Structure 1
Amino acid sequence: MPPSRVPTSFSELEQWLDERRVTEIECLVPDLTGVARGKILPREKFTEDRGMRLPEAIVAIGVTGEFPEEGPYYDVITPTDRDMHLQPDPRTVRIVPWATDPTAQVVHDCYDRDGHLIPYAPRSVLRRVCQLYADQGWSPVVAPELEFYLIERSIDPNMPLRPPRGRSGRAETSRQAYSIDAVNEFDPLFEDIYAYCQKMELNVDTLIHEVGAGQMEINFFHDHPLGLADEVFFFKRTIREAALRHEMYATFMAKPMANEPGSAMHIHQSIERVDNGENIFSNPDGSPSKAFYWFIGGLQRYAPAAMALFAPYVNSYRRLVRSNAAPINIQWGTDNRTVGFRAPVATPASRRIENRIIGADANPYVALAATLACGYLGMTRQIEPTPECRGDAYLADFQLPRSLGEAVAQLRDEADLAQVLGQDFITVYTEIKEVEHAEFMKVISPWEREHLLLHV
């Protein structure tokens, strides 16, 4: 089935809704975590208002639902809790395939009362970075690879998670990387997922079984960053819903199970010239360009400071260990999966760089904005990379923050990233992460009770 015409205006959006006899609209706003906030409106109300209002702090909320009690956060967000004005982006409209009545979902952008984008809203931050590229005559092209786990339903957060049972009635007990049969264990689920994705016209490509028990990976076709961030946002909602309908959970936690590998969101990146579509990472003779090396240099220079954006939770750092499953440093190499930044073997036209540091738990808008910001700084400041790593990068030293607290401190101190991503965003984001970290520190873990209770 050919894709339907994408609406580009409110009148075309109305026509799209009419053709599908939509009666309800889910008006969505991705918050800092990537959670879908917003309202569900009857079609008539949506048409009359052409937007809606929400308190401006709704997009600046942490994963625990808490806000800072005081501090720089309120230098950006007024304590009077004023409204922001939301406007639908017609290009994002999708059918909600699991809804009983004809329902659409539309992502909205956030504006203040003067018509300016709210600078700390994740979608605004990615728009800001893409505009910086456009000002240079460049257009970023990205392709995410998103890993996730299927797990047995668990309503007790104190209990360890377990892989779900497949069609055979058994759970996986061994590593099944790239196993077709292991994927087939969950055929009914994946048939629903692909059916949902087709109805939503999501740009998904390959499905594979990853290394961990119940761990899968979905690849997306390459496209513009904003559109793909929307698709990842929609996909996460979709797969969670489909899993629930099959009596299991889908999780994008970076490290959900202690003895299994973590989950990443690898992002392939290249840059095209706006005027002719040529890949600026390649010279006319097909060799790597200076821009290619400068982009890598920018990733190496700024990735440690961007780690709170790539690995946003305390759990994220459990994935980044010396275990041949996730990078621990900022080395780069050609066709080398042990490094943080991999250059896949490719034709000159498709030469690209893969950021392998980012976790599956990262907000797709924020992660894409951050990795592109690092590369932008590298190219505009002509930062040379280190020599290529031709061996096992896991044997080298750690070069990344080892905890959320360390990562937040580095992000707060990096003025160059604040200039590209926006100081208001950095202020709000780091303050929220401080609140989340403080909440985590109130919890006493089983490890502490096991090893410290009677031994210290």
Structure 2
Amino acid sequence: MNAKSPTGAGLDEVRVFLERYPDAKGIDVVMTDCHGIGRGKTIRRHELESLYLTGRAMPASLFGQDVAGDDVDGTDLVLHDGGGDKRCWPVAGTLGFLPHLNRGQVLLSMYEADGSPFQADPRQALVRQVEIARQSGFTAMGAFELEFYLVDRERDDRGRYQPARYALSGRRSLNRNTMAVDELDEMSPFFDMIYEAAEQLDLPLESVISEYAVGQYELTIRYRDLLRAADDLVVAKRLVRSAARRFGMEACFMAKPFGQEAGSGMHLHLSLNDENGNNLYADLPDGQISPLMLHSIGGIRQTIGETMLVLAPFMNSWRRFASAVYSPASDSWGIENRTVALRIPNGSANTRHFEHRVAGVDANPYLVAAATLGGALYGIDRRCDPGLAAEGNDYAQGRVAELPKSWIEAMDWLETSDFMKEVMGPSLHRAFIAIKRAEYRRLALEVSEAEWSLYGFTV
């Protein structure tokens, strides 16, 4: 078989890589499933060219598995058509090198034999929304923020996970040290490894801060086209996780790993450009907010309830909303206000954009971006009114938005949503619902240690 890659990736990328990294013997080929987990294999150096020439066969059932990798009935992807493979192709521009692994890495996306997109691949859902925007004259631009915890492999004397020791000194701090520069210095060998690798991956990492909880950090990523921004988030998570292991710690991307501490978000910044690169969300000459951005926010407000399972896909995701600290489970919007769901940051008129703050870091970035862009386009098409901007502390207002109140309710909202069926595509929509309901049943049967401690020999 010899076919042209439908992603636009070419052999020039392979030649540059092989010349630049003569000692790279293996390349991790990574496809992102509906949970945001990388599935794939490690190929050898001599196989790289054939990957770009003919693609690579992988089972479609990878998109019908739960988070543990078990097949889920009802997805219509398990043993469908006899369990045959589909063709996976490298994503253009994602072939890079991980120095600390001494291996290459490239992202993959799945296609049918005729080169058409495989509709259950979450990346393809974002590709469709980006193309819909393009047909309307918009180029979607964006960037994600990545919050995470660094956790020690050694548990405390009560068997609980605890913050990782500093990579430089081996000390362990139990203080928040929010935005403390010395905190970053203590972890500098770890972050030095990350930034060094990012340069080889064309991953435009920018600032790093110590966040609002012990052992919590945030990396920001430079703004660029939205599809590549979602790829960046996938690459960044894998980089952080693999680097952490080299220092005897683990990176945790749960939305709420510690009940009394801040949750970890995956804020998405979004704007729309015209074909000449001009920001269509830029303020009007009189300083007023662009009507296009207001309609976009209005569309997201009208559809956000239907997207909540994508923004908060796991049982643990909903723990993040139990505390109002910088994790708004609402549909509110405001200007330079971190207590709202949709925030317009201060900045120059030409760089104006909004920040969607609801998604947890455990969400799939392709689906978050697809749902957000889809909501924005929905609002533009219908000229949706965003309503009044929130003033002051929106948490204190006590306003209750019409949103799902639980994980299982979010499943119901998504299942009956025509909007999300269109954004995700029927195949992915059906599979995602089946997987989440199976995950709910699995966890409903698990009796937790907390239940034993509270009820076991008391009631």
Shorter-chain TM band: over 0.9
Amino acid at match of 1:267: L
Residue ranges of structure 1 left out of the alignment (5+ in a row): 1-6
- Is the contact made by 2:14 and 2:48 (CA closer than 8 Å) also made in structure 1? no
Amino acid at match of 1:52: R
- Is the contact made by 1:374 and 1:417 (CA closer than 8 Å) also made in structure 2? no
Pairwise CA distance, 1:276: 4.9
Residue 52 in structure 1 maps to residue 59 in structure 2: no
Match runs of 1:47-126 below 5 Å? 47-48=49-50, 50=53, 51-69=55-73, 71=74, 73-74=75-76, 78=80, 80-100=82-102, 103-126=103-126
Structure 2 residue matching 1:188: 3-state secondary structure: helix
Structure 1 residue matching 2:306: 3-state secondary structure: coil
1:57, 1:168 → 2: CA distance?
Answer: 45
- Is the contact made by 2:61 and 2:77 (CA closer than 8 Å) also made in structure 1? no
1:430, 1:301 → 2: CA distance?
Answer: 21
Structure 1 residue matching 2:28: 3-state secondary structure: strand
Aligned to 2:145: 145
Change (3 A) 1:105 1:155: farther
Structure 1 residue matching 2:80: 3-state secondary structure: coil
2:174, 2:18 → 1: CA distance?
Answer: 49
Aligned to 1:447: 450
Pairwise CA distance, 1:282: 3.2
Match runs of 1:132-281 below 5 Å? 132-154=132-154, 159-166=159-166, 167-281=168-282
2:171, 2:434 → 1: CA distance?
Answer: 44
TM-score in terms of structure 1 length:
0.92
Structure 2 residue matching 1:148: 3-state secondary structure: strand
Structure 2 residue matching 1:261: 3-state secondary structure: coil
Aligned to 1:27: 29
2:181, 2:154 → 1: CA distance?
Answer: 26
- Is the contact made by 1:373 and 1:421 (CA closer than 8 Å) also made in structure 2? no
1:60-119 deviation line (CA, Å, top 9, x unaligned): 3221222222x3x2289726212111111231111122234xx32111221112221011
- Is the contact made by 1:281 and 1:290 (CA closer than 8 Å) also made in structure 2? no
- Is the contact made by 1:282 and 1:349 (CA closer than 8 Å) also made in structure 2? yes
Task: Pick which of 445-454 and 218-227 moved more.
Answer: 445-454
Aligned to 2:312: 311
Task: Pick which of 198-207 and 20-29 moved more.
Answer: 20-29
Aligned to 1:335: 336
1:74, 1:106 → 2: CA distance?
Answer: 28
1:364-392 deviation line (CA, Å, top 9, x unaligned): 11111111111111111211112111021
1:308-344 deviation line (CA, Å, top 9, x unaligned): 1111100000011243231031111111111111111
Aligned to 1:3: none
Task: Pick which of 386-395 and 275-284 moved more.
Answer: 275-284
Pairwise CA distance, 1:191: 1.4
2:178, 2:405 → 1: CA distance?
Answer: 27
1:429, 1:9 → 2: CA distance?
Answer: 28
Aligned to 2:365: 364
Change (3 A) 1:168 1:86: closer
Task: Pick which of 183-192 and 211-220 moved more.
Answer: 183-192
- Is the contact made by 1:129 and 1:420 (CA closer than 8 Å) also made in structure 2? yes
Match runs of 1:281-300 below 5 Å? 281-300=282-301
Pairwise CA distance, 1:420: 2.7
- Is the contact made by 1:279 and 1:350 (CA closer than 8 Å) also made in structure 2? no
Pairwise CA distance, 1:408: 1.1
Structure 1 residue matching 2:330: 3-state secondary structure: coil
Amino acid at match of 2:438: V
Task: Pick which of 436-445 and 208-217 moved more.
Answer: 436-445
1:110-129 deviation line (CA, Å, top 9, x unaligned): 11122210111011111011
Task: Pick which of 116-125 and 20-29 moved more.
Answer: 20-29
Change (3 A) 1:229 1:77: farther
Change (3 A) 1:75 1:84: closer
Change (3 A) 1:154 1:362: farther
Amino acid at match of 2:117: L
- Is the contact made by 1:161 and 1:256 (CA closer than 8 Å) also made in structure 2? no
Amino acid at match of 2:42: I
Amino acid at match of 1:256: P
1:77, 1:273 → 2: CA distance?
Answer: 44
- Is the contact made by 1:27 and 1:38 (CA closer than 8 Å) also made in structure 2? yes
Residue ranges of structure 2 left out of the alignment (5+ in a row): 1-6
- Is the contact made by 2:142 and 2:271 (CA closer than 8 Å) also made in structure 1? yes
Structure 2 residue matching 1:119: 3-state secondary structure: coil
Match runs of 1:344-363 below 5 Å? 344-363=345-364
Residue 411 in structure 1 maps to residue 414 in structure 2: yes
